[in-house]
Amino acid sequence: MFWAQFFSRHAHAQGILKMHSVTEGVLKSTKHCWNMCLRTTFCHPAKHFPPKLVLGIETSCDDTGAAVVDETGNILGEALHSQQEVHLKTGGIIPPVAQQLHRENITRIVEKALEASGISPNELSAIATTTKPGLALSLGVGLEYSLKLVDQYKKPFIPIHHMEAHALTIRLTNPVEFPFLVLLLSGGHCILAVAQGVSDFLLLGQSLDIAPGDMLDKVIFQ
């Protein structure tokens, strides 16, 4: 993914970034409340609690994705719209084009994921959405749509750092225990870190403006 495309639209993107800043306090507060809710569930084993069901929404770059996941990591329903065919014609991701495609498809994708899961919005325990890093124009679509759902159905909101999500995905498919070393390569956002726990990462190094492959090409061919 060509994250550097973002910088060509930096001025236009600032509006969305400011929106993220305004909501940051709310996001941290709701994430804390959600963590407390999870702790409460395990403090009373004798009581019956309904399963925790989370709707996840991803629009960090060029794919519109949604899934319903339970508290054990099982994916109950998912849907994805890929923009690859469109961006291949232009030779790269153009942020305003990606933004418009997200807007055109996000409602359909979320509804399709919910339908596949058999879960209604009222049954959800929370809504989780990618808030950073990524293309600001794309992120804004997912955030705006998610906050409307949060307001409509009165659900907690969980902000997701998509690089942390990449790091933790391995735990959905393999019994990997904390801590573990992780190298994340995602366009210009590249991170080397030690995953010590959920939302607990020791950052060893990172890049924000160039992908390792791009740098390697410059070293070899120049």
Q: Which residues contact 12 (CB under 8 A, 6 or more apart)?
A: 96, 137
Among 22-31, 103-112, 196-205, the range with the most confident prediction by mean pLDDT is: 103-112
Q: Is the model's pLDDT at 17 over the cut of 90?
A: no
Residue 90: per-residue pLDDT: 87
Cα distance between residue 57 and residue 64, in whole Å: 8
Residue 49: per-residue pLDDT: 75
Q: Which of 62, 40, 65, 32 is nearest to 169 (CA)?
A: 65
The residue behind tokens 């507060």 is 29
Structure token digits, residue 24: 């940051």
Helix (H, G, I), strand (E, B) or coil at 43: helix
Mean pLDDT, rounded, for 135-163: 96
Residue 73's pLDDT band, with cuts at 50, 70 and 90, is confident
Q: What is the pTM of this model?
A: 0.72
Q: Is the model's pLDDT at 215 over the cut of 50?
A: yes
- Write down the CATH number for the domain with range 3-162: 3.30.420.40
In contact, 135 and 58? CB cutoff 8 Å = no
- Residue of higher predicted confidence among 7 and 219: 219
Mean pLDDT, rounded, for 147-172: 94
Residue 58: per-residue pLDDT: 97
pLDDT more than 90, % of the chain: 55
Query: What is the residue-averaged pLDDT of the chain?
Result: 80
